[in-house]
Amino acid sequence: MYGLINRAVKGLVVERFGSDAWDRIRIRAGIDEEDFISMESYDDSVTYDLVAAATEELGLEASTILEAFGGYWVEYTAVEGYGELLNSVGDTLPEFLANLDQMHARVKMAFPDLKPPRFRVSDESEEGLMLHYFSHRPGLAPLVVGLVKGLADRFDRPVEVVSMRVGEGDDEHDAFRVSYLPEGSSH
């Protein structure tokens, strides 16, 4: 994945646990460079190794780290030059979620080797919606939970997010039931 992702992983760790913790995680993951180049493509194993090393150094589950990273990513991209793009994706949470593929298509103009996931919205109602997630990368469903919660915060729209596997055979994939909570409730 592009270095932008690994830079954000570093940003999250440094912000919450300090730069010593980051150095221990980086070294445990076998990464020599002090930093990542946003526009350079790194092997996916770099990101996976960082998450694995972080679980060991911090004593946290991978799902906890990935979910926290999802929330952080929404804030990080907003201040790292993608705020306008985020603003243009949608004015409401459901509109934004329906336009995720268009958003990554625009990101791909700046990151030509991008291999973005695909998303599809179904079962939209007053109560919520289902978000379907398709990726060739395994194990990232908790990341999407954190992303959706981060977006919900951005729109001040409290939600509950439940992760599940749906579909059969070739169509089996991760999906998320996003339920709107009453205004003012926290998740």
Instruction: Catalog residues that contact ligand HEM under the rule CB under 6 A.
Output: 1-2, 4-5, 74, 77, 82, 85-86, 100, 104, 107, 111, 114-117, 135, 137, 140, 143-144, 147, 151
What b/e sequence results for 68-86 when a residue is b if at least 16 CB atoms lie within 10 Å of its CB, and e otherwise?
bbbbbbbebbbeeebeeee
With beta carbons less than 8 A apart as the criterion, state whether 23 and 62 touch.
Answer: no
Give 8 or 24: the residue with its C-beta nearer to ligand HEM. Answer: 8
CB of 29 to ligand HEM, least distance (A): 18
Give 13 or 97: the residue with its C-beta nearer to ligand HEM. Answer: 97
Give 24 or 67: the residue with its C-beta nearer to ligand HEM. Answer: 67
CB of 20 to ligand HEM, least distance (A): 27
CA 85, CA 64: separation in Å to the nearest integer?
Answer: 27
Give 29 or 140: the residue with its C-beta nearer to ligand HEM. Answer: 140
**Which position has the token pair 């990935």?**
66
Strand partners, 176: 131, 163
Q: How far is CA 121 from the centre of its chain?
A: 17
CB of 75 to ligand HEM, least distance (A): 11
Give the three-class secondary structure for 130.
strand
CB of 15 to ligand HEM, least distance (A): 18
